[in-house]
Structures are given as structure tokens and as C-alpha cells.
């Protein structure tokens, strides 16, 4: 199978999102973990942004040895000079240049013409190539760029020395069909340059970042730019952990592989949350607290018989310590029996029936039944004190 390169931009695009800024030591700590995760490229920062970002980029570049380290720069001389300074210590450096190509950005943001933009792209890529063997060019707002002009800009970058071309959905505007077609069109117009790697960088403004990234793979992209926990500008980027699991679970649909160590996904996610102080939502795919938690009785019964009935990948495969069978008003008898057995209480059918009745009454009040609640209930049942709902002991809100 072909390999899709994973370009992690948590330290750059991810860090740009409000509340996720990291200092030098925090970036180093996370970079080490991301390297262990098995990504192919770490984008260490945007060196022109600040002296601190330049210093952090240099520190990451000096530390990381087993994967490529990239630094971002606009297609401007000062930016490129700063990025090259940041990459000086890198064992495997990559200069990542970008310039917007949509008419909207050219007219209102850059106040330049199409022709001037193409000249600027070619000039800066040529200069960068003289100082860094590997140059990537990103056509910012590619998904809203007229295809003939996008192809012209991309071809100028390739002919000037860029070997990786990124076609970002910068504002999360695209749909999977549109995004895939853009990649097919650009690839067709790069016919004389078959070895150029096409890359996707998607934002989640419409909740389509992962879907668009998978569509890009379908259309020939062999590098995906993404972030841990999907952090990034506005609604965020393609979530690395979601992409990794999608490609693992659906190899029938996407016959490609990555170099990722899936069991390190959850620890990496937790490290980012610890560093930033911002947890992922409970319902976050793969790494959320509820991703491998089950409360509905039908689901719990299926999980107890065969976990694959309600889990498309086992929790330990992505580094989650264990699944949770949450005991609440939606749970079934089998889940209560199983948890009591784990706690050391083998029960008869009559005991579990009474435990179940009392637990459901309590669950209506406390929402979740803790282990201490369950032990209290089984003791009450065995003492024959079942005329009223058990209500002693701490609530599920305080005991886990």
C-alpha cells in the first residue's frame, strides 16, 4: 500500500487558535511526543511571528531527529530569512512557503495582481530552494481559487523547485466532491511533474475537515496536514487521531497506510490537554471521555458479548486504558451483573433483579451509579432491606 505522509501542524496552526499558545518548553515537550507518535513532518512554528516563536522553532529543529521539521513563511524575503534561521539546526529541514491565490485574497488582503503573485511565488521558491533542499508551497485559499489560475500558480512553484504542493481549504468552505475534483484537476495539469506530492490542509468550519481530507486522499493526495485534537484557527483543523483511525478502520475504502503508532494517540491527546489546560469535549471521536463509554443496555449487552458490536476499534489500539460501561437508567441487567462480578459479588437472578430495580430508581436521581452506590445496593438487597430505594453513601457526582 502507498503511504500517506502525516504533517502535524499542532505547534503552528494549532497554536494559533485562541487559548492554545505554548512556550518553548511546552512546544519541546509536545514535539518529542509527536515524534514518538510517528508523524512524518512536524511544523515547528512561524518564525517571523515573534522572537519567541523563532527560538522555539530552533529548539524543536535541534531536538527532533527522526522526522522532518518544517517552518512556515509567507512568500516574503523577511519571512523566508526568519524561517531559514529557525531551521538551521534541523537534521531534516523543510521550508514551507505560502501565498494566497484566490481573487478575494489577492484583491482585498494582498492588494496585488495575479501576475505579480505568480512572480512572487516563483522568486521566493527559487530563493528558498537555494538554501533548503525541501520546499513546500501552499496556495492559501486554494479551494476558492479559479482552477486555471491555481494551476498556473502551482506550476510556477514546481518549476521553481517546490516538491510538495499544498492545496488548503483555508476557511473550511469546500465539500468533499469539490475538494477531490480540485486535486484531480491540479494533478492533471502537473502531468510533466509526476513526483510532486500533493498535500491537503483542511479546516472544520462546516464540520467537513476529515471528510475533505479523506476525499483528497481518494483524489491522490499523499500528505495530510492535521493537528492533535483537531485544534487550529476558528473551528480547527483535521483531527490527526480521527484521520489515523479512519484510515486504519476503513482500509477497504482507503488502501493506504501511515507511519503512525496508534497506541500513542490517546496519550498525545492528553498531553496537549494538560499543556494547554483545555480538555476535549466528552463526545470527541477517538479521544473523548465518551468515545469508548456505553450506557444503553442494548449496547452494553453487545459489548459484553463481543466489543466489535458497538466499537469499530478496540480502545487499547489507540491507547485508551479501558472502555467504560456507565451504569445509569439506560443500562441493562447484564451490565449491572458484570460490574458486580468485577467488584467481587456473584449474584443470583433474584438478587440482580432487585439490584436492578433499586439502581434504576437511584439513577433517576443521581444520573450515574458509582461503584460505591452499587456495593451499597447489593448489601441492602442481601440484608433484605429493599422496601425503599437505597440512598446512602456518596452520590455518583462525587464518587467515580
**What is the per-residue pLDDT for 371?**
87
**Res. 387: pLDDT tops 60:** no
pLDDT in tens, 282-291: 999 999 999 9
Domains of the chain (ranges, CATH numbers)? 2-276 (3.20.20.70), 293-383 (no CATH)
Cβ-Cβ contacts under 8 Å for 206 (sequence gap 6 or more): 172, 173, 175
pLDDT in tens, 123-139: 999 999 999 999 999 99
Of the two residues 42 and 336, the one the predictor is more confident about is 42
**What is the per-residue pLDDT for 395?**
36
How far apart, in whole angstroms, are the C-alpha atoms of residue 287 and residue 267? 9
Of the two residues 275 and 19, the one the predictor is more confident about is 275
**What is the per-residue pLDDT for 396?**
35
**Res. 393: pLDDT tops 60:** no
Cβ-Cβ contacts under 8 Å for 150 (sequence gap 6 or more): 101, 139, 142, 167, 182, 186
Predicted model pTM: 0.89
pLDDT in tens, 8-21: 999 999 999 888 99
**Res. 158: pLDDT tops 90:** yes
Residue 163 near residue 196, CB atoms below 8 Å:
yes
When pLDDT is averaged across residues 367-383 and rounded to a whole number, the result is: 89
pLDDT in tens, 63-94: 999 999 999 999 999 999 999 999 999 999 99
Q: Which H helix or E strand runs over 184? A: helix 176-189
When pLDDT is averaged across residues 261-272 and rounded to a whole number, the result is: 97
For 199, the grid coordinates are 498535500
E strand residue ranges, 131-176 = 135-140, 164-169
pLDDT in tens, 311-330: 999 999 999 998 888 888 88
pLDDT tier, 386 (very low <50, low <70, confident <90, very high otherwise): low
Gyration radius from the chain CA atoms: 26
Amino acid at each position: 500500500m502507498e503511504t500517506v505522509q502525516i504533517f502535524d501542524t499542532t505547534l503552528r496552526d494549532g497554536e494559533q487558535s485562541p487559548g492554545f499558545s505554548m512556550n518553548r518548553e511546552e512546544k519541546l515537550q509536545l514535539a518529542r511526543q509527536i515524534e514518538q507518535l510517528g508523524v512524518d513532518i512536524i511544523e515547528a512554528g512561524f518564525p517571523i511571528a515573534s522572537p519567541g516563536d523563532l527560538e522555539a522553532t530552533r529548539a524543536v529543529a535541534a531536538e527532533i531527529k527522526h522526522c522532518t521539521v518544517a517552518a512556515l513563511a509567507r512568500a516574503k524575503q523577511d519571512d523566508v530569512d526568519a524561517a531559514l534561521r529557525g531551521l538551521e539546526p534541523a537534521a531534516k529541514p523543510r521550508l514551507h512557503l505560502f501565498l494566497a491565490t484566490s481573487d478575494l485574497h489577492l484583491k482585498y488582503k494582498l492588494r496585488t495582481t495575479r501576475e505579480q503573485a505568480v512572480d512572487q511565488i516563483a522568486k521566493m521558491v527559487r530563493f528558498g530552494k537555494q538554501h533548503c533542499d525541501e520546499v513546500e508551497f501552499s496556495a492559501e485559499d486554494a479551494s476558492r481559487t479559479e482552477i486555471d489560475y491555481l494551476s498556473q500558480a502551482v506550476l510556477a512553484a514546481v518549476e521553481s523547485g517546490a516538491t510538495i504542493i499544498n492545496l488548503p481549504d483555508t476557511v473550511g468552505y469546500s465539500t468533499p466532491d469539490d475538494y477531490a475534483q480540485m486535486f484531480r484537476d491540479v494533478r492533471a495539469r502537473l502531468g510533466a511533474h509526476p513526483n510532486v506530492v500533493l498535500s491537503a490542509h483542511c479546516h472544520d468550519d462546516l464540520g467537513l475537515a476529515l471528510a475533505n481530507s479523506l476525499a483528497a486522499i481518494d483524489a491522490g493526495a499523499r500528505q495530510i496536514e492535521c493537528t492533535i485534537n483537531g485544534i487550529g484557527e476558528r473551528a480547527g483543523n483535521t483531527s490527526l487521531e480521527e484521520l489515523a483511525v479512519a484510515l486504519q478502520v476503513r482500509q477497504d475504502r482507503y488502501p493506504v497506510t501511515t507511519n503512525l503508532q496508534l497506541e500513542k494517540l490517546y496519550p498525545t491527546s492528553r498531553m496537549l490537554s494538560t499543556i494547554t489546560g483545555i480538555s476535549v469535549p466528552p463526545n470527541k471521536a477517538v479521544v473523548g471521555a465518551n468515545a469508548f463509554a456505553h450506557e444503553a443496555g442494548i449496547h452494553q449487552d453487545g459489548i459484553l458479548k463481543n466489543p466489535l458490536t458497538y466499537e469499530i476499534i478496540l480502545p487499547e489500539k489507540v491507547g485508551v486504558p479501558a472502555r467504560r460501561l456507565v451504569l445509569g437508567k439506560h443500562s441493562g441487567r447484564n451490565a449491572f451483573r458484570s460490574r458486580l462480578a468485577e467488584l467481587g459479588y456473584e449474584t443470583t437472578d433474584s438478587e440482580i433483579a432487585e439490584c436492578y430495580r433499586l439502581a434504576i430508581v437511584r439513577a433517576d436521581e443521581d444520573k450515574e451509579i458509582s461503584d460505591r452506590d452499587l456495593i451499597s445496593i447489593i448489601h441492602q438487597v442481601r440484608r433484605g432491606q429493599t422496601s425503599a430505594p437505597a440512598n446512602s453513601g456518596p452520590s455518583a457526582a462525587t464518587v467515580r
